[in-house]
Amino acid sequence: MIKAFMIFAALLSSEAKETYKVNIEKSTVEWVGKKVTGQHNGVIDLKGGRLEMEDGKLVGGIFTIDMTTIEDKDLSGEYKGKLEGHLKSDDFFGVEKYPTSTFVITKAVPQGPGRYKVIGNITIKEKTEQIQFTANVEEKEGKIYASATLTIDRSKFDVRFGSGSFFDNLGDKTIYDNFDLTVNLVANK
């Protein structure tokens, strides 16, 4: 009897969980990297992903980022091509060997209506680190809209080029370890 009840309860809880597939055409990931003498910004594409909701609340998700799509938006011509090539090279993200990165939500703690403290594991260059950030999540007309700005320390993923954490005397050539991502997701059932 207890075993039957546990199976029934598990079925109910799995039915309550709804999966929303991220619409990669309508979702955006923008990045900003800073250095002593300025900054660069651009975009990168999602390869796929999903958000998991239960009783109208965020409970999980997984996302794959296509690292081969790193694009700079503040430069043009030869300089744009050089920066994009350098970011894709082994000096930075080594996209030939590591073409994707992933983020898995391990916990979403409600912080008020539509706000969550999201805790999860991000993997870049086969190195995984736990990060946390605040996200806004809204369900409207059968779709989920989620947004967040998060900061990632690239040095934790063996992305060391120009890092003052690893090299001395870089002066105005120093590139800061932290970079920011602004994520806007649209997901459908």
Q: What is the pLDDT of residues 35-93, one digit of tens each?
A: 767 888 999 999 999 999 999 999 999 999 999 999 999 999 999 999 899 889 888 89
What are 146's two structure tokens?
């989620």
> 3-state DSSP helix/strand/coil percent for the chain, to nearest 5?
20, 55, 25
Considering the entire predicted model, what is its pTM? 0.84
Residue 5 has pLDDT above 50, yes or no: no
Higher-pLDDT residue of 15, 179: 179
Q: How confident is the model at residue 171 (pLDDT cuts 50, 70, 90)?
A: very low
Domains of the chain: 18-188 (2.40.128.110)
Q: Looking at residues 106-126, what average pLDDT do you find?
A: 97
The dihedral sign for the CA sequence 181, 119, 154, 96? negative
